[in-house]
């Protein structure tokens, strides 16, 4: 039996797609094995959002080659879509598929044969590249993750029409597209037949669900909450201008929708937001946070922030810091600006030095820690419902509350994939609450 191993980098969307691709192989009799084991075929599902992400992709390829030099290596996803020629230069890579082609991976692998003899190196040049113009791709490939008993990543949307000046994702993923509500509900119902109790809605720009049709994200939510077997639903990253009052009101009023929001801010300076070509000003973000907290005082709100964007002076960074400091948010995802080939920002003047990026990143990470500490303190002694996972670390297992607070308890197999009602108390030195069941 042919052994195949998958390694996924990047976003939750990639994970949902990898799982769907892997199911196709499993159904055809392949043996799905761990990436750390010896396999006949290794598949690396890549990310290209930053230079660090691309470096991790190349490192994963080298790991696979060292693990089994005779294996077949397939590289798929965003890095493969944007810069296949870079990956082709890595000796040992056999197949490179773009984002439209990757869902036919098995067919490509089974038909892949060495091409004509490379007379320069006196060996067969066996690397095949298959990428198409993703901007012309109108197909939506539905996907959901499986294998994790606790949660499922449900892909509801793909692509983006925004073209922010720093971002390559529209070039790698194409235009915004999705299936209709009826088809999405059918996919969700199929995914809900598994053991997972929590479903995370994923996509590139999920708030843009239904773009070009008379359906929208709010309409989809009203149907998803009716799906049998979907006990908990989390909304992944959603743009602030698309997170309207109807959506917030629905999360506040429906117990299936978790009070947990991940909202990209990117900068607290309107000057920088304009340079980034974002679709909002910071007041919009402030109003969204205020609305959420008014209806759900204990909701978890995470924000993405980029430091060191071209033109970000010390004064403009201070604007961001001051804005974030006054916001009632729970924590930050901090990214140092990474110059991406082919983007508008690549040619913007007034670059910020690596040293300043590091300093600003450290400042915001510190602020994030303070925010998280405050958020956890505000929730201490509250009664919550925690869904425990199957992990086992130093004798403990972990789970998350509705509002994404991490809780640990002594490992008990009976708690795996079980929702436990408990009081948040006994925080450890890292601020993680410990649940001690009464004997």
Q: How sure is the predictor about 120, in pLDDT bands with cuts at 50, 70 and 90?
A: very low
Per-residue model confidence as pLDDT tens digits over 204-243: 999 999 999 999 999 999 999 999 999 999 999 999 999 9
> Looking up tokens 């959506």, which residue turns up?
247
Query: What pLDDT was estimated at residue 191?
Result: 96
How confident is the prediction for the chain on average, in pLDDT? 94
Query: What pLDDT was estimated at residue 114?
Result: 47
Per-residue model confidence as pLDDT tens digits over 374-386: 999 999 999 999 9
Query: What pLDDT was estimated at residue 439?
Result: 62
Looking at per-residue pLDDT, the higher value among 333 and 124 belongs to 333
Query: What pLDDT was estimated at residue 112?
Result: 57
Q: Is the pLDDT of residue 119 over 50?
A: no
Per-residue model confidence as pLDDT tens digits over 414-429: 999 999 999 999 898 8
Query: What pLDDT was estimated at residue 123?
Result: 43
Query: What pLDDT was estimated at residue 99?
Result: 97
Query: What pLDDT was estimated at residue 408?
Result: 97
Q: What is the 3-state secondary structure (H, E, C) of the chain?
A: CCEEEEEECCCHHHHHHHHHHHHHHHHCCCEEECCCCCCCEEEEEECCCCHHHHHHHHHHHHHHHHHCCCCEEEEEEHHHHHCHHHHHCCCCEEEEECCCCHHHHHHHHHHCCCCCEECCCCEECCCEEECCCHHHCCCCCCEECCCCCCEEEEECCECCCCCCCCCCHHHHHCCCECCCHHHHHHHHHHHCCCCCCEEEEECCCHHHCCCCCCCCHHHHHHHHCCCCCCCEEEECCCCCCCCCHHHHHHHHHCCCECCEEEEEEECCCHHHHHHHCCCCCHHHHHHHHHHHHHHCCCCEEEEEEEECCCCCCHHHHHHHHHHHHHCCCCEEEEEECCCCCCCHHHHCCCCCCHHHHHHHHHHHHHHHHHHHHHHHHHHCCCEEEEEECCCCECCEEEEECCCCCEEEEECCHHHCCCEEEEECCCECCCCCEEECCCC
Q: How sure is the predictor about 122, in pLDDT bands with cuts at 50, 70 and 90?
A: very low
* Mean pLDDT value of segment 158-176: 96
pTM score above 0.75: yes
Q: How sure is the predictor about 38, in pLDDT bands with cuts at 50, 70 and 90?
A: very high
Distance CA 309, CA 272 (A): 8
Per-residue model confidence as pLDDT tens digits over 191-201: 999 999 999 99
Distance CA 25, CA 31 (A): 8
* Mean pLDDT value of segment 164-177: 96
Pairing relation of β-strands 93-97 and 72-77? Answer: parallel
* Mean pLDDT value of segment 26-41: 97
Q: Is the pLDDT of residue 36 over 80?
A: yes
Mean pLDDT is lowest, of 57-71, 121-135, 262-276, 384-398, for 121-135
* Cβ contact 96:45 at 8 Å: no
* Cβ contact 141:158 at 8 Å: yes
Please choose, from the candidates 93, 90, 98, 133, the residue with its C-alpha nearest in 3D space to the C-alpha of residue 112: 93
Query: What pLDDT was estimated at residue 407?
Result: 97
**Residues 46-73, buried b or exposed e (16+ Cβ, 10 A)?**
bbbbbeebbebbbebbeebbeebeebbb
Distance CA 33, CA 43 (A): 11
Q: Is the pLDDT of residue 115 over 90?
A: no
* Cβ contact 96:88 at 8 Å: yes
Query: What pLDDT was estimated at residue 157?
Result: 98
Angle between helices 217-224 and 181-191 (to 10 degrees): 40
**Residues 327-355, buried b or exposed e (16+ Cβ, 10 A)?**
bbbbbbebbbbbebeebbbeebeebbeee
Q: Is the pLDDT of residue 245 over 70?
A: yes
Query: What pLDDT was estimated at residue 430?
Result: 82
Distance CA 334, CA 336 (A): 7
For 238, half-sphere exposure in the C-beta direction (CA atoms, 13 angstrom radius) is 24
């Amino acid at each position: 039996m042919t052994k195949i191993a998958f390694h996924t980098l990047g976003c939750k969307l990639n994970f949902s797609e990898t799982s769907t691709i892997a199911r196709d192989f499993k159904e055809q009799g392949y043996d799905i094995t761990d990436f750390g084991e010896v396999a006949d075929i290794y598949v690396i599902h890549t990310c290209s959002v930053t230079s660090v992400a691309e470096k991790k992709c190349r490192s994963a390829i080298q790991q696979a080659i060292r693990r089994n030099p005779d294996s077949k290596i397939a590289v798929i996803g965003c890095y493969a879509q944007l810069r296949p020629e870079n990956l082709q230069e890595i000796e040992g890579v056999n197949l490179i598929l773009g984002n439209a082609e990757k869902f036919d991976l098995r067919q490509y692998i089974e038909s892949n044969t060495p091409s004509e003899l490379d007379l320069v190196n006196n060996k067969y040049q066996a690397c095949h590249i298959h990428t198409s113009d993703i901007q012309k791709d109108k197909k939506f490939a539905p996907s959901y993750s499986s294998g994790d008993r606790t949660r499922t990543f449900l892909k509801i949307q793909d692509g983006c029409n925004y073209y922010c000046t720093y971002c390559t994702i529209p070039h790698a993923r194409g235009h915004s597209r999705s299936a209709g509500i009826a088809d999405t509900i059918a996919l969700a119902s199929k995914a809900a037949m598994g053991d997972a109790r929590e479903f995370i809605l994923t996509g590139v720009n999920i708030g843009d669900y239904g773009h070009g049709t008379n359906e929208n994200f709010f309409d989809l939510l009203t149907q998803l909450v009716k799906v049998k077997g979907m006990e908990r639903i989390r909304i992944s990253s959603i743009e602030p201008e698309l997170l309207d009052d109807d959506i917030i009101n629905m999360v506040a009023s429906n117990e299936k929708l978790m009070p947990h929001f991940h909202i990209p801010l990117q900068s607290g300076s309107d000057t920088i937001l304009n340079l980034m070509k974002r679709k909002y000003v910071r007041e919009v973000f402030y109003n969204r946070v205020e609305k959420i907290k008014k209806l759900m005082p204990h909701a978890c709100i995470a924000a993405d922030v980029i430091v060191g964007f071209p033109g970000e002076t010390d004064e403009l960074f201070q604007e961001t810091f001051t804005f974030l400091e006054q916001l009632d948010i729970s924590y930050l995802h901090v990214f140092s600006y990474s110059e991406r080939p082919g983007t508008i920002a690549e040619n913007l003047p007034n670059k910020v030095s690596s040293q300043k990026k590091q300093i600003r990143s450290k400042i915001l990470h510190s602020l994030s820690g303070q925010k998280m500490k405050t958020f956890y303190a505000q929730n201490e002694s509250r009664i919550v419902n925690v869904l425990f996972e199957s992990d086992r670390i130093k004798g403990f297992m972990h789970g998350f509350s509705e509002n994404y607070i991490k809780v640990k308890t002594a490992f008990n197999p009976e708690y795996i994939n079980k929702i436990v009602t408990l009081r948040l108390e006994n925080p450890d030195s890292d601020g993680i609450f410990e649940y001690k069941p009464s004997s």
